[in-house]
C-alpha cells in the first residue's frame, strides 16, 4: 500500500526554560540554563539539591481547582501543552472527524508524586487504609492521553507508551505510523513528566545517575565536557500535532515540517548502562534513516540524547561516527539537555520541537556548559558548543535512549 505523508501542524511546550513554544525556543537560542536549587520540596538532605524545575507556572491559570485536584502534575502539564498545540494547529473535533483524531502520549514514570504522597500518608496514619479516591486515576501513566482526549473530544486511537526516556519518541513513532497507514487523520502526541519529587531525586541519587554539583547548578549539565558527572533532572511536557498531509492542506493548516521516519532498537546489554560501543544507538539511527529513505549525508543536525553522563555521551558519539562516517564532521550536533535538564519520558517531545524549530528557523541550538575538551571525543566534530549557530537545516534527527536499553529516533525535514 502507498503510505500517507505526515506533517507537523501544531506545537506546545512547557519547559524549565520557557512555558510556551516561543519562550522555550528563545531560551534555547540564548543558551539559558534551567537548573537551580529545588523549590518543590526541602532537598537539603539530598545528595543532589538542584533540578530543572518549571518556573512561574500555575495550573490554576489553565484548569479550575476542582479539576486540577483530580490530576497529578504530569497530567496537568500534558493538558496545558496539548491545549497550546491544538490551538496552534486549529484542529477541532467540530471541523474534523473526531473518530479519526487520536492521542498517543508518553511518560516514563507517570504520577510518581501522587504515589509517593498517598503511600506516605498511609504509612503515617497507623496504616489505616485511607486513600484519595483519585489515587489510581491520578497515578497511572496512561491517564494523560485519556485526559487530553476527554478535553478535546478526540475519539481516535488513544494510549500511552512507556519506554523510560524514549517514551515520547515512541509515542511519536506510533502516531506517525497510524497516520501513514491511514488509520487516523491526526494525532496529538508527545509526553510529560513530573519527577522532581523526593522519590524521583532520591531514586536517581541512589543510582548515582545525577550530577551533585550543588555549588553551581546552572553549569551542572555539561554534555561532552571532560568533567561531566551525571544528568540534571527536569520536568515539563511537549506536544506535537501530527497530521496527514492532504488533511492538513484541505483545511489550510500551517505546516512546520514533515516527519519522514522513525526507528527503534534494544541494547540487550544492561538495565541502566548503554552498550559501550553504542550498538543500540547505531542500530536505531540506521533503522531511522532506512525508514525515512534518506541518505545520511542529507542530515544537517542531530539533537543527541546527550545526558551528560561519562559513559552515555561517549557511546552515542561513537555511534554517530559509525553511522555518518565522514559526514559526521559536516553535522551540527547538540544536546539541549544542557539547558533543559533531562525530562525523562518527555525529553523526546521537547527535543523534537527543538529540531522542528531548528528547521523552521535555520538555527541550531547550542550545547552549553562546555569548559574542557574530553580526549575520548573527536574534537573535530561540531558539538555546537556554548552558542547557537546559523545554518540551513533541511533535515534533523533526534535521539532518545532509555533505561532498559530502549532506543528510539525520529527524522524531520523541511516541507
Could you give the CA distance from residue 337 to residue 221 in angstroms, rounded to a whole number? 7
Q: Grid coordinates representing 191? A: 509526553
CA angle 398, 111, 42 (to 5 degrees): 100
Are the CB atoms for 213 and 319 separated by under 8 Å? no
How far CA 31 is from CA of 23, 236, 298, 357, in Å, comes to 12, 18, 26, 15
Is 305 considered catalytic here?
yes
6-14/236-244 β-pairing: antiparallel
C-alpha R_g of the chain: 20
Are the CB atoms for 273 and 280 separated by under 8 Å? no
Given 152, 247, 275, 342, the catalytic residue = 342
Could you give the CA distance from residue 388 to residue 368 in angstroms, rounded to a whole number? 9
How far CA 23 is from CA of 26, 337, 387, 391, 396, in Å, comes to 5, 16, 17, 21, 21
Given 165, 247, 275, 406, the catalytic residue = 165
DSSP assignment of 269-338: S-SSSPPTT-HHHHHHHHHHHHHHT--GGG--EEE----S-HHHHHHHHHHHHHHHGGGGGGSEEE-THH
Given 275, 305, 370, 406, the catalytic residue = 305
Is 152 considered catalytic here?
no
CA dihedral 341, 108, 239, 316 (to 10 degrees): 50
Is 247 considered catalytic here?
no
Could you give the CA distance from residue 347 to residue 353 in angstroms, rounded to a whole number? 10
Question: What beta strand segments (E) does 19-171 contain?
Answer: 36-37, 50-51, 101-106, 158-161
Are the CB atoms for 47 and 64 separated by under 8 Å? no
Q: Grid coordinates representing 228? A: 561531566
Are the CB atoms for 222 and 202 separated by under 8 Å? no
Catalytic amino acids? 165, 305, 342
Amino acid at each position: 500500500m502507498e503510505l500517507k505523508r505526515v506533517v507537523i501542524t501544531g506545537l506546545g511546550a512547557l519547559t524549565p526554560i520557557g512555558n510556551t513554544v516561543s519562550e522555550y525556543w528563545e531560551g534555547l537560542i540564548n543558551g539559558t540554563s534551567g537548573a537551580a536549587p529545588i523549590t518543590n520540596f526541602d532537598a537539603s538532605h539530598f545528595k543532589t539539591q538542584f533540578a530543572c524545575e518549571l518556573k512561574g507556572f500555575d495550573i490554576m491559570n489553565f484548569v479550575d481547582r476542582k479539576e486540577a485536584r483530580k490530576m497529578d502534575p504530569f497530567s496537568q502539564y500534558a493538558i496545558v501543552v496539548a491545549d497550546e498545540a491544538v490551538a496552534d494547529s486549529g484542529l477541532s473535533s467540530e471541523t474534523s472527524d473526531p473518530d479519526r483524531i487520536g492521542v498517543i502520549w508518553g511518560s516514563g514514570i507517570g504520577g510518581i508524586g501522587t504515589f509517593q504522597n498517598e503511600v506516605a500518608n498511609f504509612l503515617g496514619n497507623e496504616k489505616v487504609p485511607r486513600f484519595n479516591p483519585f489515587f489510581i486515576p491520578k497515578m497511572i501513566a496512561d491517564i494523560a492521553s485519556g485526559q487530553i482526549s476527554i478535553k478535546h473530544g478526540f475519539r481516535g486511537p488513544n494510549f500511552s507508551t512507556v519506554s523510560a526516556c524514549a517514551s515520547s519518541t515512541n509515542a511519536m513513532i506510533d502516531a506517525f505510523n497510524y497516520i501513514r497507514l491511514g488509520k487516523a487523520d491526526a494525532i496529538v502526541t508527545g509526553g510529560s513528566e513530573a519527577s522532581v519529587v523526593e522519590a524521583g531525586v532520591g531514586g536517581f541519587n541512589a543510582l548515582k545517575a545525577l550530577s551533585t554539583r550543588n555549588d553551581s547548578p546552572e553549569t551542572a549539565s555539561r554534555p561532552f565536557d571532560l568533567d561531566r558527572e551525571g544528568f540534571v533532572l527536569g520536568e515539563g511536557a511537549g506536544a506535537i500535532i501530527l497530521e496527514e498531509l492532504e488533511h492538513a492542506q484541505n483545511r489550510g493548516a500551517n505546516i512546520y515540517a514533515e516527519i519522514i521516519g522513525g526507528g527503534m532498537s534494544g541494547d540487550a546489554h544492561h538495565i541502566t548502562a548503554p552498550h559501550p560501543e553504542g550498538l543500540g544507538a547505531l542500530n536505531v539511527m540506521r533503522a531511522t534513516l532506512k525508514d525515512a529513505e534518506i541518505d545520511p549525508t542529507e542530515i544537517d543536525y542531530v539533537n543527541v540524547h546527550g545526558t551528560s553522563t561519562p559513559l552515555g555521551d561517549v557511546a552515542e558519539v561513537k555511534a554517530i561516527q559509525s553511522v555518518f562516517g565522514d559526514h559526521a564532521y559536516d553535522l551540527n550536533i547538540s544536546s539541549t539537555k544542557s539547558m533543559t535538564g533531562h525530562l525523562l519520558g518527555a525529553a523526546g517531545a521537547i527535543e523534537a520541537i527543538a529540531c522542528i524549530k531548528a528547521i523552521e528557523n535555520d538555527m541550531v541550538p547550542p550545547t552549553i556548559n562546555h569548559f574542557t575538551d574530553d580526549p575520548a571525543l573527536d574534537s573535530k566534530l561540531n558539538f555546537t558548543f556554548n552558542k547557537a549557530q546559523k545554518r540551513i537545516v533541511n533535515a534533523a534527527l533526534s535521539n532518545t535512549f532509555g533505561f532498559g536499553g530502549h532506543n528510539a529516533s525520529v527524522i524531520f525535514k523541511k516541507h
